[in-house]
Amino acid sequence: MDDIRILAPSDLDTLIAELRERGFRVVGPTLRDETIVTGDIRSASDLPRGIGDIQEAATYRTRQRDDDAYFGFAAPAQSTKPVFFPSEEVVWRGKRDHDQGGHFTAERDTANASPVALLGVRSCDLRAVQIHDQVLAHRQFKDVHYTARRDGTLVIAVACGVPAATCFCASMGTGPRPAATDPQTGQPSYDLLLTEVIDGDTHHFVAEVGTDAGRDIADAVAASKGTAKDQAQAIDITNAAAASQTRAIDRNTVHDVLRASAESSRWEDVANRCLGCTNCTMVCPTCFCTTMSDVSDLAGENAERHRVWDSCFSANFSYIHGGPTRESLKARYRQWITHKLSSWEDQFGMLGCVGCGRCITWCPAGIDITEEAAALGRMSGLGSTASAAST
Amino acid sequence: MTDAATHTHADASAGADTPARPKLAVWKFASCDGCQLTILNCEDELLSIAEAVHIAYFPEATRAVVEGPYELSLVEGSITTPEDVERIHEIRAQSGTLVTIGACATAGGIQALRNWADVDEFRSIVYAHPEYLSTLDTSTPIASHVDVDYELRGCPVDKGQLVEVLAAFLNGRKPRIPTYSVCVECKLKGNVCVPVAHGTPCLGPVTQAGCGALCPTYGRGCYGCFGPQDSANTDSLTRQLAELGMSNDDIVRVYRTFNAGAPEFEAASNKVAAGGAS
Ligand code: SF4
Ligand code: SF4
Ligand code: SF4
Ligand code: SF4
């Protein structure tokens, strides 16, 4: 029998205080510039209580909800990606050593490793963290900075009750209720999974315990015991959330659709709309491309190597001697969507898209990955009719 | 730039015990002096700059003049008079590496608006004795007249990028100056996107990075100070600006500011002026 607990809204403050007491940096959703972003949480008052969101292609707005829900919205503007994988970091610093004939001596920069508690992370983003783990930490060469930041992460996930119109995790099999375990490692996906229940006068959280650490936290905040009925109610909420999603990608056919679409005339169409601005890749929780950038000071005494987020939408990303190999926006969009929905699978054994919908919302031109995938499916004759976006 | 930098170093150090500092000259054409002021605003780095280069000609800062040739010339401003045309050729002949700084020098500046207007008419309205005035019909970037080794964008240039170009010149390496869009800087900083979240029109997607996404950081749309990014799709942005409620006149105006003469912005503005987006 699963360990089910019930938390009152007032327990959130106790929970956050307890996490901070235990030395965690608590990261979760918070309101900034009329937008729900991912940021540091010091108390429950930092959470966007009573705030909902409206997301559509190229549009994001918050709205006042008619209840006091703490998690009554979908994917925040940025995922937890920058927490473990910052947009810019120093890899090493070098100093000219005049005793050594003017050669440089290099010193590796070490990552700040204070453990993070992800509070309110959504299923799509949690799956994206697992994908990053696979790409950055579980292959032959570990990214030591990423690993140091990821070590000891405590996950208090929230199952979504109100997907945005841009969400399509249900079709990707990545949400709105997170899988209990990471399919790659078999490890538990979360320490605690919260589902927010607002029903008439009752407002509480059903907490499902995933690990001993989660149980320990639940005990520490004296969460009362729940029942199988509470869990069933939580599952009903996420089932309804899944059923309410209007966008979809057919994950069973999309790999082959993209593979067959290299010469599709659709690329010309999308390239007319694409701004080559990189926003889709910057907000995507799984995009991990970076560039190395070396700098030196005026005197040439100090040098630094920085690792900075880069994007397959920038021309210089594919620069080799003579010029970029992906000169046109057509080639760049094709590269991006093909990697996300097809070659990622060949490379890492899973798709590179978790259906969070951010690339749709935050594309200033409103380009919609589900619409593009559906069009390619139709044009190649390989997509299932069910994959068509219903917008 | 790498080659030029290496050569000028060799020249500068010829016959000296310690390598002589390369001579730097700063020149001004039609401009507001804002980019030169950016050099003077490099408070923390100014001493290191003066140690690394010999500031030989910089009227904005000092009256002392050291004769050319100069290993490095920074050129501010655009070409607007027949005298300018002559002078920039002389400067080119005296300079090892020539770097243009700012929107005036790299795209003709705001004064390139004259390229769409009747200069004779201006002249007769503004000046009591227009016949004393000798001016060209256009404002053009330095690179339209002489070879330029490197163009540093911005209105004004960014202090950090300026120091970076100097450091790259002195160390014989490529400057770390990205040519992608302002959106990259916006996202690296964790900004909220103003057109998407607030409906505020923004030129960021077609504009080159460099300012650190200054305007979006303060909730305003980008004004395009750094000119077109390397893959600007202005047709698509024009449609977005219209969708966010801008009139054709307004769209023409946002493309025709400090970088009005940059080929991509010029073409985009002409297209809208001629009847709207594609
Ligand atoms: S491709 Fe788009 S929908 Fe998929 S994970 Fe990335 S941002 Fe989310
Ligand atoms: S994609 Fe799914 S898990 Fe992610 S925010 Fe939307 S509903 Fe929630
Ligand atoms: S798809 Fe959209 S967000 Fe991505 S580069 Fe093109 S215009 Fe920008
Ligand atoms: S605010 Fe402007 S510059 Fe920033 S990401 Fe959005 S469109 Fe790009």
| CATH number of domain containing B108 | 3.40.50.700
Alpha-carbon gap: B62 to the closest alpha carbon of chain A (Å)? 22
Q: Assign B25 to helix, strand or coil.
A: strand
Confidence check: pLDDT of B9 > 70: no
Please tell me the predicted confidence (pLDDT) of residue B90.
97
Total structural domains within chain B:
2
Report whether pLDDT(A110) > 70.
yes
Q: Does A278 touch chain B (CB under 8 A)?
A: yes
Residues B7, B117 within the same domain: yes
* pLDDT given at position B128: 87
Nearest residue to A83 (alpha-carbon basis) of A31, A30, A146: A146
For all residues of chain A together, what is the average pLDDT?
Answer: 95
Same domain for B29 and B126, yes or no, is yes
Q: How confident is the model at residue B181 (pLDDT cuts 50, 70, 90)?
A: very high
Each residue's pLDDT tens digit, B190-221: 999 999 999 999 999 999 999 999 999 999 99
Does B278 score more than 60 pLDDT? Answer: no
Average pLDDT over every residue of A181-189: 97
According to DSSP, the residues that pair with A224 across neighbouring strands are A6
Mark whether B196 and B154 lie in a shared domain. Answer: no
- Average pLDDT of A30-58? 98
- My answer on whether B23 and B157 are in the same domain is yes
- The 3-state DSSP class for residue B233 equals coil
Would you say residue B278 lies in a domain?
no
* Same domain, residue pair B153 and B252: no
Could B233 and A274 be called an inter-chain contact, meaning their C-beta atoms sit closer than 8 Å?
A: yes
Distance B24 CA to ligand 1 centre (A): 49
Question: How far separated are the first and last CA of chain B, in Å rounded?
Answer: 38
Contact between A173 and A199 (Cβ < 8 Å): no
Residues B190, B157 share a domain:
no
Residues B194 and B165 in one domain: no
Disruptive mutation site among B54, B183, B239, B240 for chain A (greatest number of A CBs within 10 Å): B183
| pLDDT score of A1 | 61
d(CA A66, CA B274): 49
Strongest mean pLDDT among A336-350, A372-386, B7-21: A336-350
B7 & B132 share domain? yes
Question: Which residue puts its alpha carbon closest to atom 6 of ligand 2?
Answer: A167
Ligand 2 atom nearest the C-alpha of A166 is 6
pTM confidence score: 0.94
The bridge status of strand A88-97 relative to strand A103-108 is antiparallel
- For the packed helices B248-255 and B234-243, what is the interaxial angle rounded to 10 degrees? 140
A vs B, Cβ pairs < 8 A, gives 134
**Which of A354, A367, A370 is the pocket-test mutation for ligand 1 (most atoms within 8 Å of CB)?**
A354
Amino acid letter for position A317: F
Q: So what's the pLDDT on residue B3?
A: 40
Quick one: average pLDDT of B246-262?
97
DSSP B86-155: HHHHHHHHHEEEEEEEHHHHHH--GGGGGGGS-HHHHHHHH-S-GGG----S--B-GGGTS--SEEE--S
ipTM of the complex: 0.95
Q: What is the pLDDT of residue A386?
A: 46
Instruction: Tell if the CB–CB gap between A295 and B190 is shorter than 8 Å.
Output: no
CA nearest to A367 within chain B: B236
Q: Does residue B263 sit in the same domain as residue B135?
A: no
B100 and B204 within one domain: no
Tell me whether residues B188 and A272 touch, CB distance under 8 A.
no
Average pLDDT (A121-142) is 97
SS (H, E, C) B238-264: HHHHHHCCCCHHHHHHHHCCCCCCCHH
Give the pLDDT of residue A385. 56
B 111-150: CB under 8 A from A: none
In a domain, B176, yes or no: no
Are B19 and B132 in a shared domain? yes
pLDDT above 80 for A205? yes
Q: Which domain holds residue B114?
A: 3-170
Q: Is the pLDDT of residue A37 over 80?
A: yes
Asked if A283 and A359 touch (Cβ cutoff 8 Å), the reply is yes
Domain annotation covers residue B125: yes
The last residue of a domain, from among B170, B200, B219: B170
Confidence (pLDDT) at A102: 82
Q: B48–A274: do the CB atoms touch at under 8 Å?
A: no
Which residue's CA lies nearest to atom 8 of ligand 3?
A277
Interface check for A75 against chain B (CB to CB < 8 A): the answer is no
Q: Is residue B240 part of a domain?
A: yes
Q: What is the pLDDT of residue A349?
A: 95
User: Measuring from each residue's beta carbon to the nearest atom of ligand 3, which residues come in under 6 Å?
Assistant: A 274-280, 313, 363, 365, 367
In a domain, residue B175? The reply is: no
pLDDT at B14: 39
Give the number of other CB atoms < 10 A from CB of residue A101: 7
Q: How far is the CA of A75 from the centre of ligand 1 (A)?
A: 11
Residues in chain B with CB shorter than 8 Å from the CB of A282 are 183-184, 187-188
Q: Inter-chain contact A273–B188, Cβ cutoff 8 Å?
A: no
Q: What are the tens digits of pLDDT across the range B10-63?
A: 333 334 455 689 999 999 999 999 999 999 998 889 999 999 999 999 988 888
Determine what percent of chain A is predicted with pLDDT higher than 70: 97
Chain B nearest-CA distance from A57, in A, is: 9
In this structure, of A379-383, B36-40, B274-278, the range with the lowest mean pLDDT score is B274-278
Kind of pairing between the strands at A154-159 and A35-40: unpaired
**pLDDT exceeds 50 at position A362:** yes
| Among candidates B179, B197, B237 on the partner chain, residue whose Cβ is nearest the Cβ of A34 | B197
Computed over every residue of chain B, the mean pLDDT equals 91
**Whether the predicted pLDDT of B131 surpasses 90:** no
Same domain membership, residue B40 and residue B156: yes
Q: Among B192, B230, B244, which would you mutate to test the A interface (most chain A Cβ atoms within 10 Å of its Cβ)?
A: B192
Q: How far is A236 from chain B (nearest CA, A)?
A: 32
Answer whether residue B2 shows pLDDT above 80.
no
